[in-house]
Amino acid sequence: MPTTPYRQAWSGVRAELRTVRVRVLATVLAFLAAGLLVTGVTTLALDLRNLNSRVNEELLLQSARLQNIVEQGVPGGGPVTSLDGLFTVFLQGDAPGRYESVMATVNGGKTFLPAAAQPSNLATPQVLETVRAEHLENSTVFHDMSLDGRTVRLAITSVSLGDGSPGGLLVAANEIGRQREQMIASFGTFAGASLATLLLAGAVGFAVTGRLFVPVRRLRQATESITFEDLSTRVLIPSGDDDVSQLATDFNRMLDRLETGIADQRQFVDDASHELRTPLTIIGGHLQLLQAGDPKDVSETQVLLLEELDRMQSLVDELLLLARSGRPDFVRLDWIDADSFLEAAMERIKVLADRRWQIESMPGGQFRADRNRLTQAVEQLAANAVQATRRHDVISLGAAWTGTSGGTAPTGHQEPSPGDIEIWVADSGCGISPADQERIFDRFARAGVSRGKEGSGLGLPIVKAIAEAHSGTLRVISRVNEGSRFVLSLPGGTA
C-alpha cells in the first residue's frame, strides 16, 4: 500500500509521542494535574463542610437571641407576658444576614414577619406545613427544603412561655443552596485557571525539555551513524553541568575508549600479520627445500624451524602483553622496598651477559608498584643494554626520589620517601642517535646502531606500556658512542 502524506504525518506524530521528551513532560503534567485536582476537590469539600457548620451556628443565633429576650425581658419594659409581644419585640431587633430570613408563628394564631424584605418568603403554606410537621417540642430542628427552586435550610425552634398559653415556632432560614452554588462556581473558576496553568506549563515545558533533550537526540543520531568501521562521531556537549550534559560527556568518553580498544585490536592484527609473515615464509621455504632422505639436512632444518617457532611464540607473547596493557587489571599495586627491589633485580639481570654490572644508587624508602611488571621492565631495559654494549662496558641500575608529593605506607610498613621515584638502567655502550630516539618507543622500531642480535622491536613499547599502567613515564638520555640511560618515572605513593 503506498504511503500517503497523511500516513507519513501520523507516523511522525506517533514517533514524537514515544520520545523521552514527551513521556517526561506527560508524566510531570499528569502529576501536576493530579495535584491541582486533589487540591481543588479537598478545598471545596472543606469549604462545604465549613459552610454547613457556619450556617447552623448562624441559625442557632436567632433562637439564642430570642431566649435572651425571654430571660431579660423586653428592653425598656417589663417581662414578656405573651408570645405575640415576644415575637413582635424579637422581629424589631437586628436584621438577619444577607442570606437569612426569619419568621415566627403562634400555634393556632397568626404569623409574624420582619418589616424589612427578606431573601426567602417564609409565609407560605408550604413552609408552614413543613415546620409544623418537622418541629419537636423544646428543641431546635434543622431541615433542608426547596423553596422557589432554591435550597433553604430551616432551623425550627419550639417556643413556650410555660404559663399554659399556646406555644409557637421560631423559624430561621438560610439560603445555603446559593452559597453552595457560589463555592462550586469558584471551583469551576479554579478548574479553568488550573487548565490554563497546565496548558501554559505544557507549552513552556515542551520548549524547555526540547532544549534539555537536545543531547539525547544527538546521542540517538550518533548511535545510528556509528559503525564498527567508523567510531569518529562525537556528540556536541552543551554548556552546563547538569545530568544531560554529563551524559553526553560520558558517551563521548565511552566512544573514545571503544575507538582506542578497536584501534589496539587492529594494531595487534596488523602487527601480528606483519611480523609473523617473515618467520612463516622462512619455515615454508625450508620445508619446501627439505631433503627428507638426508639426515643431516633434516636435523639442521629441524633446529632452524624450532628457532623460528620459538621466535614466533615470543613475538606472539609480546603482542598479547601489549594488547592487555590497557586493561585495569594489568598491574596490581603493592608496597615495594626500593633497595631490596634493586638488589633482587640486579641478581636477575647480571646473568644476561658478561658485563660490568653495578648498582649506582640506593634511595631507600618504599613506593607502590606491581613488582612483577616492574621487574619485567627492568629486565627488558637490561637486555637492550646488553645488545648495545661489549664485554667490558658498564651497565648500571639505580633509583632516586624526586619532588615532595609522596604518599604514606599502610600500618606496619616503613614510611616512604616523599615524591616520585625514578628507576634507571644506564650503559656505556654505542648510544642512540637523536633521530632514532624519536621513534624507538614505537612498535617494531629498532635503533640504527646495535652490537648484538636485533630483537623484535617490542621491548621498549612494552616497558613504556608498563610505565603508563603505573601512571608513569619512560624517557631516554643518550649520546652516540657514549651510552644511554633509560629512566622510569613512577608515582611514589599512588599510581
Q: Residues of 310-334 as b/e, b for ≥16 C-beta within 10 angstroms? A: ebbeebeebbebbbebeeeebbebe
Q: What is the pTM of this model?
A: 0.50
3-state secondary structure of 241: coil
* Range from 29-38, 90-99, 220-229, 448-457 that averages highest in pLDDT: 29-38
* Range from 243-247, 257-261, 463-467 that averages highest in pLDDT: 463-467
Query: Please, which pLDDT band fits residue 40 given cuts at 50, 70 and 90?
Result: very high
Asked whether the CA dihedral 433, 435, 438, 443 is positive or negative, the reply is negative
Chain-centroid distance, C-alpha 6: 39
* pLDDT reported for residue 119: 87
Average pLDDT of the residues in 247-259 = 80
Backbone dihedral angles phi then psi of residue 66, each to the nearest 5 degrees: -65, -40
Helix axis angle for 176-212 and 214-225, nearest 10°, is 40
Which residues are paired to 477 by β-bridges? 485
Average pLDDT of the residues in 15-39 = 84
* pLDDT reported for residue 472: 92
* pLDDT reported for residue 205: 87
Q: List the one residue out of 230, 310, 215 whose CA is nearest residue 266.
A: 230
Q: List the one residue out of 61, 93, 60, 58 whose CA is nearest residue 74.
A: 93
pLDDT higher than 80, residue 479: yes
Beta strands across the sheet bearing 168-174: 111-112, 100-106, 168-174, 150-159, 140-147
Q: List the one residue out of 369, 370, 371, 367 whose CA is nearest residue 407.
A: 367
The rounded percent of the chain whose pLDDT value lies above 90 is 32
Out of 96-100, 111-115, 472-476, least confident range = 96-100
* pLDDT reported for residue 407: 42
pLDDT higher than 80, residue 118: yes
* pLDDT reported for residue 155: 92
Out of 178-187, 211-220, 411-420, 481-490, least confident range = 411-420
pLDDT higher than 60, residue 381: yes
* pLDDT reported for residue 226: 73
Question: Is there a contact between 51 and 180 (Cβ–Cβ < 8 Å)?
Answer: yes
Q: Which residue has the higher pLDDT, 367 or 317?
A: 367
pLDDT higher than 80, residue 104: yes
Pairing of strands 356-361, 394-402: parallel
pLDDT higher than 90, residue 15: no
Backbone dihedral angles phi then psi of residue 415, each to the nearest 5 degrees: -65, 130
pLDDT tens digits, 326-336: 677 788 899 99
What is the number of other CB atoms lying within 10 angstroms of the CB of residue 161?
Answer: 17
The set of residues, in sequence order, having a beta carbon less than 8 Å from that of 436 and lying 6+ positions away, is: 445, 447, 448, 449
pLDDT higher than 90, residue 475: yes
Angstrom distance (rounded) from CA 314 to CA 459: 11
Angstrom distance (rounded) from CA 343 to CA 468: 24
Average pLDDT of the residues in 246-255 = 80
pLDDT tens digits, 218-233: 777 777 777 767 777 7
Angstrom distance (rounded) from CA 168 to CA 17: 72
The C-alpha cell at 430 is: 654505542
Pairing of strands 150-159, 140-147: antiparallel
* pLDDT reported for residue 495: 38
Average pLDDT of the residues in 402-410 = 52
pLDDT higher than 50, residue 29: yes
* pLDDT reported for residue 356: 93
For residue 99, CA distances in Å to 47, 119, 148, 494 come to 17, 6, 14, 84
Question: Is there a contact between 283 and 305 (Cβ–Cβ < 8 Å)?
Answer: yes
Q: Residues of 82-118 as b/e, b for ≥16 C-beta within 10 angstroms? A: ebbbbbebbbeeeebeebbbbbbbbeeeebbbbeeeb
pLDDT higher than 50, residue 405: no
Mean pLDDT score of the chain, rounded to an integer?
82
pLDDT tens digits, 139-189: 899 999 998 888 999 999 998 887 667 788 999 999 999 999 999 999 999
pLDDT tens digits, 432-442: 888 888 788 77
What is the number of other CB atoms lying within 10 angstroms of the CB of residue 139?
Answer: 10
Q: Which residue has the higher pLDDT, 448 or 460?
A: 460
Average pLDDT of the residues in 128-135 = 88
